[in-house]
Amino acid sequence: MKLKVKDMDIATGGVLVAIINRKDADLMDFHTLDRIKLKSGKYTETVVLDIAESDKAVPKGQIGLFEEVLSSLKAKSGKELEILPARKPLSLEYIKKKLDGKKLNKKEINQIVWDIVHNKLDLVELAYFVSACYSNELDMEETTILTKAMASHGDILNTRKYPVMDKHCVGGVAGNRTTMIIVPIIAAAGLTIPKTSSRSITSPAGTADTMEILASVSIGLKKMGAIVKKIGGCIVWGGALNLAPADDKIIRVEKPLAIDARSNLLASVMAKKASVSATHLLVDIPAGKGSKIPENRKALRLKRDFEHLARKLSMKIKVIITDGKQPIGNGIGPALEARDVLYVLLNDMREPLDLRKKALKMAGLMLEMGGKARKGEGLKKARYILESGQAYYKMIEIIKSQGKKVVDPDKIKIGDVFYDYKARKSGMIKYISNEAVSKVARVAGAPKDIGAGVFIHKHVGDRVKKGEVIFTIYTHNEINLKFAKDVFFKSDVIVI
Amino acid sequence: MKLKVKDMDIATGGVLVAIINRKDADLMDFHTLDRIKLKSGKYTETVVLDIAESDKAVPKGQIGLFEEVLSSLKAKSGKELEILPARKPLSLEYIKKKLDGKKLNKKEINQIVWDIVHNKLDLVELAYFVSACYSNELDMEETTILTKAMASHGDILNTRKYPVMDKHCVGGVAGNRTTMIIVPIIAAAGLTIPKTSSRSITSPAGTADTMEILASVSIGLKKMGAIVKKIGGCIVWGGALNLAPADDKIIRVEKPLAIDARSNLLASVMAKKASVSATHLLVDIPAGKGSKIPENRKALRLKRDFEHLARKLSMKIKVIITDGKQPIGNGIGPALEARDVLYVLLNDMREPLDLRKKALKMAGLMLEMGGKARKGEGLKKARYILESGQAYYKMIEIIKSQGKKVVDPDKIKIGDVFYDYKARKSGMIKYISNEAVSKVARVAGAPKDIGAGVFIHKHVGDRVKKGEVIFTIYTHNEINLKFAKDVFFKSDVIVI
């Protein structure tokens, strides 16, 4: 059958889809979600079929194509395409197999990942894969295969160095920008650390958002390799790279129901590490009330899982369970967090001590792992690198190589509309809620409004006097301030 | 936030979706699959949000609406709408709960069904529901609630009669058009049988397709009620009615992976029966090699499940396991099957004896269930109604009331391009494949080409002589004939 191209003027952002009219579909006995092969000269593409019931959307004799398919076929409106029936992807069989609780082998998992990466699966089909992995958890062998498959079906950064250091935090704690302190310390010590970070999804700032205050973070793989080769480290946005691309597509389908299949979470983290050829990894699991992982039992299980998977991938790993009960650092929001980081690197007296301490502890462990300090002496060495200014100078090198924006903390622009909350009684701070702090910062405008956020003047255990400022909300307009104050007063952000 | 309507000129065929530009989404911190509330004058609608990355699809300041949403809001291109954030449907929480293996209560199942019926769930979210029911099977209590919820969230036919007879076949056997013989027999006996049937999905003909050769089958609920009241019975297409509409939406998502969650299958069948207020039901489970249910053990389990669920719904039920190893009747395809049915009703010597026998047996059981025959005497009574011509006359009444097309079997138009396959050796027919017969009939053009199909001259156990015609393919053009012959010669359709 031959049909004329109609440009639908929409990108699906993934899945390769074509729409034909119900009448043409009936003629060929085609059904929704069938696969069809499109031929246009020397170009061919297999796509997912959708059927238009109305002639308005796609008239008989035409085929509606989205931007991804148009560009793959180098086709334009009005061009005639040949349409042939095609087989459904093999991976559908394997996804069904997993749904039925059976174990998948290497060939099957590889096929699924290949089909995901090449946009051959419809979102509904992908949801069945996620669901299958959630209900019938992949075992460690399958998880290892999935991790390797996700990494290998994507770009790989190979710096030809050994060791290659990396760190990861499972998240859930506001502030907590250790990466931007650890990377310069590790690189200053002469180790290699090609760090990729993510942007915020539901938090007021991701490391990529915060680093973007100081430098550009959308760096291509080639340039990233060159920077790391020259300077030893970088802090770039993983989303600008094609590392383990299957992972992002899987996460997109997990979001609607907040599904966190354990095996997929592990594979997701470790595939990103494998894509930068990391050999040594430090994982931070913040746990405790108010964090992502309130129960210690669960944190321990996750720790064991990470260790197990790393062993299978021949990666050296150290997993630490840290206190995740309250925010780390004072500023929450991209600009406020970037300023905290620079204060720490400059040993400025305004630095948040909790952030400094945590970053030093982690950097110390990594120096020991990477052979730059003897066991028990990493912390001392990390502190020396930080206090001597070596870490700050390394950070300047990184910032310059990534397109410098600002290096002076006092030149970072913070929202000029603010509200100071004063303690209504004297006493000791008993509790600060990660979730509520993040909510207030987001409503104030973070991370989109980079200067917005909140500043925590006191931490749990600190004594405060009545009338003392303990919490400030920053934003750029009165409306956001009003909304943020509303949220603040409705939730127990800080308990004295 | 206010945005101007852009008519996307597409119907989604279900889910209520609106698309806004990435820049507007970022301003409001909206994410894909978030819910937003649209206000246009006195009309409001909550819809699923999609985000356009390109300005071409939906520019900043505009909101792309699909036909369903446009009509619900009575909005037109260029009109300004107010956009407000809305909560995600409660049912997402319940779907997650089921995914986690927990039991759902009545309120939760009702909410899920309500959201499905009102197009509040995205297909990905619906897929998670299907998957949850597949991996963590609903128990009989949940299945009962689901069945009742599916029936009550839809139209109900209430004939105010007792008993109301119904029958169901789980399918998988080519031919097997017993419904069109049973309904007139039952109605002729004075019982009420408001029969809804489906069209073919993967078979060469559904009962609705076959009945459509003789009369119209797209009948509204009101007219259906009037027909049943007057004549006692009807044979209409369920798809034209709004009976248990959640079911069709669920089935649409089950198809891609051919997922058959046991509880959903049961609920699906029984909800349709409950929507026509059936009180007495006969279920036919064709089993054996080559049918949908090859293992007797599985057929027995399904039988017990049907009996259990019917008890919970206070419905009288009889479940029979029949021989599903070969096609029933001679013709396969809408016109060919309709002709077979009329031959049986007319007691014509060209009638397929297997179809006659099976229909009589089932009608007999139903006459006993409905109190029109004593136990053991139903078959005799059914045979009398058929042989006396009462069944045929009742069928003519039904056909006339549904918009008569044809009542004379010899006036039914069969494809004029055909191929006779002759036995290549003498012997006994050992096997006829349901699947292969259906495939050949479909490639010949059935059910879209209503006159296309195949005719089986001999059945399993029959003796044939070399050179005798045992199989005919009917179609309307040489191309389909060639394709159908190719399929025929490649598969073991008939084994001597």
Contact B57 A11 (CB under 8 A): yes
CATH class, B413-495 region: alpha beta
pLDDT at B11: 64
The pLDDT tens digits of the residues spanning B331-347 come to 999 999 999 999 999 99
Q: Is a pLDDT exceeding 90 seen at residue B27?
A: no
- Indicate the residue of A33, A134, A257 with minimum beta-carbon distance to B125: A257
Report the amino acid identity of residue A303. K
pLDDT at B56: 78
Half-sphere exposure of A423 (CA within 13 A, CB side): 22
- What are the backbone dihedrals phi and psi of residue B440, each rounded to the nearest 5 degrees, phi first? -60, -45
- What are the backbone dihedrals phi and psi of residue B270, each rounded to the nearest 5 degrees, phi first? -70, -30
Q: Is a pLDDT exceeding 90 seen at residue A12?
A: no
CB-based contact, B448 to chain A, within 8 Å: yes
Contact B33 A92 (CB under 8 A): no
Contacts of B256 in chain A (CB under 8 A): 33, 92, 122, 124-125, 128
Confidence of residue B23 (pLDDT cuts 50, 70, 90): confident
Name the minimum distance, in Å, from the CA of A281 to any CA of chain B: 31
Domain B2-86 and domain B165-409 have a common topology: no
The pLDDT tens digits of the residues spanning A211-265 come to 999 999 999 999 999 999 999 999 999 989 999 999 988 988 888 888 888 889 9
Q: Is a pLDDT exceeding 90 seen at residue A110?
A: yes
CA neighbor of A267 nearest in space, from A233, A222, A312: A312
Q: Is a pLDDT exceeding 80 seen at residue B454?
A: yes
Q: What whole-number distance in Å separates Cα of residue A356 and Cα of residue B434?
A: 73
Name the minimum distance, in Å, from the CA of A27 to any CA of chain B: 8
Beta strands in B198-344 (DSSP E): 233-237, 280-287, 316-323, 331-332
Instruction: Confirm whether the ipTM is greater than 0.90.
Output: no
How wide is the angle at C-alpha A447 spanned by C-alphas A443 and A452, nearest 5°?
Answer: 65
Contacts of A33 in chain B (CB under 8 A): 255-256
Contacts of A31 in chain B (CB under 8 A): 255
Which chain A residue lies closest to B8 (C-alpha atoms)? A57
Contacts of A9 in chain B (CB under 8 A): 56-57
Confidence of residue A13 (pLDDT cuts 50, 70, 90): low
Contact A132 B128 (CB under 8 A): no
Contacts of B252 in chain A (CB under 8 A): 32
CB-based contact, B84 to chain A, within 8 Å: no
- Indicate the residue of A26, A57, A123 with minimum beta-carbon distance to B448: A26
Report the amino acid identity of residue B489. F
- How much is the mean pLDDT over chain B? 93
Residue A298 tokens read as 């669960």
Confidence of residue B382 (pLDDT cuts 50, 70, 90): very high
What is the CATH T-level fold of the domain A2-86, as seen in this structure? Barwin-like endoglucanases (2.40.40)
Contact B33 A256 (CB under 8 A): yes
Q: Is A139 left (phi over 0), alpha (psi -120 to 50) or beta?
A: beta
Contact B11 A54 (CB under 8 A): yes
Confidence of residue B392 (pLDDT cuts 50, 70, 90): very high
Q: How many residue pairs from chains A and B have C-beta atoms closer than 8 A?
A: 106
CB-based contact, B22 to chain A, within 8 Å: no
The pLDDT tens digits of the residues spanning A358-393 come to 999 999 999 999 999 999 999 999 999 999 999 999
Contacts of B25 in chain A (CB under 8 A): none
Q: Is a pLDDT exceeding 90 seen at residue B406?
A: yes
Largest Cα separation within chain A, whole Å, is 80
Number of separate helices (H) and strands (E) present in chain B: 18, 19
Catalytic residue selected from A9, A260, A462, A492 = A260
Which chain B residue lies closest to A50 (C-alpha atoms)? B12
The pLDDT tens digits of the residues spanning B163-197 come to 999 999 998 899 999 999 999 999 999 999 999 99
pLDDT at A85: 84
Percent of chain B with pLDDT over 70: 99
Contact B259 A134 (CB under 8 A): no
Alpha helices in B255-352 (DSSP H): 262-275, 296-312, 334-345
Contacts of B125 in chain A (CB under 8 A): 256-257
A494-495/A427-428 β-pairing: unpaired
Q: What whole-number distance in Å separates Cα of residue A335 and Cα of residue B249?
A: 47
Contacts of A253 in chain B (CB under 8 A): 124
Percent of chain B with pLDDT over 90: 75
Contact B259 A128 (CB under 8 A): yes
Q: Would you list the DSSP string of A220-235?
A: -HHHHHHHHHHHSEEE
Confidence of residue B362 (pLDDT cuts 50, 70, 90): very high
Confidence of residue A9 (pLDDT cuts 50, 70, 90): confident
Residue A242 CB-density burial (10 A; 0-12 exposed, 13-18 middle, 19+ buried): middle
Neighbours of A449 (CB within 10 A): 19
Residue B99 tokens read as 């995914």
Confidence of residue B378 (pLDDT cuts 50, 70, 90): very high
Calculate Rg over the CA atoms of chain B: 25
CB A362 within 8 A of CB A167: yes
Assign domain A165-233+263-401 one CATH number from 3.30.428.10, 3.40.50.1390, 3.40.1030.10, 3.30.565.10.
3.40.1030.10
Contact B258 A96 (CB under 8 A): yes
CB-based contact, A54 to chain B, within 8 Å: yes
Q: What is the rounded average pLDDT of the residues A83-102?
A: 92
Q: Picking from A64-68, A442-446, B395-399, B469-473, which range would have the lowest pLDDT averaged per residue?
A: A64-68
CB-based contact, B252 to chain A, within 8 Å: yes
pLDDT at A481: 94
Q: Is a pLDDT exceeding 90 seen at residue B1?
A: no
CB-based contact, A131 to chain B, within 8 Å: yes
CB A183 within 8 A of CB A235: yes
pLDDT at A32: 80
Q: How far is CA A488 from the centre of its chain?
A: 27
pLDDT at A41: 87
Q: What whole-number distance in Å separates Cα of residue A276 and Cα of residue A165?
A: 10
The pLDDT tens digits of the residues spanning A119-159 come to 889 888 999 999 999 999 999 999 999 999 999 999 999 99
CA neighbor of B233 nearest in space, from B172, B296, B166: B166
CB A300 within 8 A of CB A181: no
C-alpha dihedral, A348 to A353 to A359 to A362, nearest 10°: 140
Name the minimum distance, in Å, from the CA of A10 to any CA of chain B: 5
Q: What whole-number distance in Å separates Cα of residue A482 and Cα of residue A487?
A: 9
CA neighbor of A89 nearest in space, from A126, A119, A121: A121
Contacts of B9 in chain A (CB under 8 A): 56-57
Neighbours of B374 (CB within 10 A): 11
Neighbours of A82 (CB within 10 A): 13
pLDDT at A422: 96
Contact A256 B96 (CB under 8 A): no
Name the minimum distance, in Å, from the CA of B291 to any CA of chain A: 21
CB B22 within 8 A of CB B60: no
Q: Is a pLDDT exceeding 70 seen at residue A290?
A: yes
pLDDT at B22: 85
Q: What whole-number distance in Å separates Cα of residue B379 and Cα of residue B389?
A: 16
What is the CATH T-level fold of the domain B165-409, as seen in this structure? Pyrimidine Nucleoside Phosphorylase; Chain A, domain 2 (3.40.1030)
DSSP at A255? G
Q: Is a pLDDT exceeding 90 seen at residue A431?
A: yes
Which chain A residue lies closest to B134 (C-alpha atoms)? A99
pLDDT at B13: 62
Neighbours of A202 (CB within 10 A): 15
The pLDDT tens digits of the residues spanning B78-90 come to 899 999 888 888 9
pLDDT at B252: 83
Residue A333 tokens read as 């929001």
Does the domain made of A414-495 have the CATH classification 3.90.1170.30? yes
Q: What whole-number distance in Å separates Cα of residue B253 and Cα of residue B194?
A: 28
Interface mutation vs chain B, best among A9, A10, A66, most B CBs within 10 Å:
A10
Name the minimum distance, in Å, from the CA of B22 to any CA of chain A: 12
Instruction: Establish whether the linkage from the previous residue to A163 is cis, with ω within 30° of 0.
Output: yes
Domain borders along chain B are: 2-86, 91-136, 165-409, 413-495
Q: What whole-number distance in Å separates Cα of residue A99 and Cα of residue A93?
A: 10
The pLDDT tens digits of the residues spanning A162-207 come to 999 999 999 889 999 999 999 999 999 999 999 999 988 788 999 9
- Beta-carbon contacts of B349 under 8 Å, excluding residues fewer than 6 positions away, are none
A35-40/A80-86 β-pairing: antiparallel
Report the amino acid identity of residue B230. K
Assign domain B91-136 one CATH number from 3.30.70.100, 3.30.1540.20, 1.20.970.10, 3.40.50.1220.
1.20.970.10
The residues of B annotated with a catalytic role in the active site are 260
Q: Picking from A50-59, A420-429, B82-91, B293-302, which range would have the lowest pLDDT averaged per residue?
A: A50-59
Q: What whole-number distance in Å separates Cα of residue B476 and Cα of residue B452?
A: 7
